[in-house]
Amino acid sequence: MNRHVLEKGHSAYPRGSAFSNSPNRFQPRSQPALRRRRQLFQRLCLLGGVSLVLFLLIFPSWRAAVLPSISLGLLSYPGDLHLQTVRYYDLSEVQGTEKGWERGERVLMCTPLRDASSHLPMFFSHLRNLTYPHHLIDLAFLVSDSRDDTLGMLSRMLEDIQNDSDPKMPYGEISVIQKDFGQKVQQDVESRHGFEAQASRRKLMAQARNWLLSATLRPTHSWVYWRDADVETAPFTIIEDLMRHNKDVTVPNVWRPLPDWLGGEQPYDLNSWQESETALALADSLDEDAVIVEGYAEYATWRPHLAYLRDPYGDPDMEMELDGIGGVSILAKARVFRAGVHFPAFSFEKHAETEGFGKMAKRMKFSVIGLPHYTIWHLYEPSVDDLRHMEEMEVERLVREKEEERAEQNDNTQSNSPGDDQDVDGEEVQGSAEGPAGQPMKDAMDSTQGHLKAQAERVDQAEKAKS
């Protein structure tokens, strides 16, 4: 290629500094201000990120609102990134264990109430003394078909216990359900325990229990404890004592105290039993809707009853497998009810309510046990015959006291008047066999007969009014 050659042999390319190929001639000059701005921006971003992380750690409720906006929906976190109105529960964590009080397991305590205002003070005294952590117990009450002030008294007593100055006294969530079922059977002993009323009464009681449970059982409950309001004496540790057996359904033995003239004590709950061949044959012979009730001569089942196996000195932890159970005091794992076991308000294998519940639980392969030597005591409620006898005893006591008082007055009269072996004007004077000495006994006998006759008339009138 031809080149233009200038004088003195120089090439035709321009000379000068503008086109110099020196390696350092055209490198960009340093800019300290730009570098400082870039470093400041990086530090601010880092500080903002750290602050955001700390904020989300301190206020976890903001995570669901902030993180989806930041991640543009590309990230998900099952625990915190869902809507606040959605709750997620892992039911494997609420199966129930033998030391639930140590693991913080919640207990739902259910109590049906009907005309129970007279029992509530005693019931709440038991509540105050329970040793299972109160904040882990949720109370549930069903008030039905009541004619007294059960609902008003219940509200006042709940307010008192929840506002107690002792921080360990208040309970967890409390639910009061009001629902009438048309229960017409009276609450006296004869009416409630009469044979004719048992089938219909227990079916309605089953409905009440199911309503109460379905309205109050939460996914956080590990245990359900059923407790009647008319339990007079029970250990304060009863929830822990029953829970330690770690069975699906556990009941204690239930007796009741009696006056000394009736023997002092008596088995109360005969609804906890083991099945017998005689009872199975009886069930096969009955109608489809028939309900066998235990403890009545009309149904001779010859079953082994938990109540009759009690030994006051026996091991309270001894277990007995049961088929039917009573409802005075039941501790059951919540998973039993979640699996579908309930209190049948119909004839299930010829049983209803708690006895049907026990049969259904056994049918679904749950463990059902009773503790024959672990005893709680039901309130003694005298029958009409007991009341009649107690009134007669009271009349006899009053007559006896009156006789003693008259005898004492007679002794004082005789000590102040001349009598046998006393001299009057130097002569010995004998006391007369006739006179006021025999009158007190005659008056006492007349009074006794009058009292007994009047008492018998009052009892007869009461029975006629009741019928």
Per-residue pLDDT, 327: 96
Residue 309 lies inside a defined structural domain of this protein: yes
Per-residue pLDDT, 79: 47
Q: Within this chain, do residues 445 and 357 fall inside the same structural domain, yes or no? A: no
Q: Within this chain, do residues 257 and 121 fall inside the same structural domain, yes or no? A: yes
User: In this predicted model, what pLDDT tens digit does every residue of 244-287 receive, in sequence order?
Assistant: 999 999 999 999 999 888 889 999 999 999 999 999 999 999 99
Residue 9 lies inside a defined structural domain of this protein: no
DSSP labels, 233-294: E--TTHHHHHHTT--SEEEEEEEEE--GGGTSEEE-----B---HHHHHHHHHS-TT----T
Residue 356 contacts residue 348 (beta carbons within 8 Å):
yes
Residue 10 lies inside a defined structural domain of this protein: no
Q: Within this chain, do residues 340 and 354 fall inside the same structural domain, yes or no? A: yes
User: In this predicted model, what pLDDT tens digit does every residue of 108-161 receive, in sequence order?
Assistant: 999 999 999 999 999 999 999 999 999 999 999 999 999 999 999 999 999 999
The CATH number for 250's domain is: 3.90.550.10
Q: Within this chain, do residues 198 and 320 fall inside the same structural domain, yes or no? A: yes
Per the structure, the count of domains in the chain is: 3
Q: Within this chain, do residues 314 and 459 fall inside the same structural domain, yes or no? A: no
Residue 404 belongs to domain spanning = 383-408+440-467
Residues of the chain with pLDDT under 50: 1, 3-8, 10-13, 17-19, 75, 77-81, 190, 420-442, 444-445, 448, 451, 459, 466-467
- The backbone torsions φ and ψ at residue 174, rounded to the nearest 5 degrees and listed phi first, read -125, 130
Residue 21 lies inside a defined structural domain of this protein: no
Quote the pTM value: 0.69
Residue 204 lies inside a defined structural domain of this protein: yes
Per-residue pLDDT, 336: 98
Residue 434 lies inside a defined structural domain of this protein: no
Residue 430 lies inside a defined structural domain of this protein: no
Q: Within this chain, do residues 108 and 69 fall inside the same structural domain, yes or no? A: no
Per-residue pLDDT, 454: 56
**Helix 353-363, helix 198-216: angle, nearest 10:** 60
Per-residue pLDDT, 161: 98
Name the 3-class secondary structure at 139: strand
Q: Within this chain, do residues 375 and 399 fall inside the same structural domain, yes or no? A: no
Per-residue pLDDT, 80: 47
Q: Within this chain, do residues 391 and 369 fall inside the same structural domain, yes or no? A: no
CA distance 194 to 297: 12
Per-residue pLDDT, 136: 98
Q: Which residues face 427 on adjacent strands?
A: 424
Sorted by sequence, the CB contacts under 8 Å of residue 178 that are 6+ apart come out as 142, 143, 144, 151
Q: Within this chain, do residues 206 and 265 fall inside the same structural domain, yes or no? A: yes
Q: Within this chain, do residues 285 and 388 fall inside the same structural domain, yes or no? A: no
Q: Within this chain, do residues 82 and 115 fall inside the same structural domain, yes or no? A: no
Q: Using CA of residue 7, residue 10, residue 12, residue 13, what is the dihedral sign?
A: negative
Q: In the 3-class helix/strand/coil scheme, how is 77-98 assigned residue by residue?
A: CCCCCCCCCCCCCCHHHCCCCC
- The backbone torsions φ and ψ at residue 105, rounded to the nearest 5 degrees and listed phi first, read -80, 130
Residue 121 lies inside a defined structural domain of this protein: yes
Per-residue pLDDT, 463: 52
Q: Within this chain, do residues 333 and 363 fall inside the same structural domain, yes or no? A: yes
Q: Domain boundary residue among 343, 366, 381?
A: 381
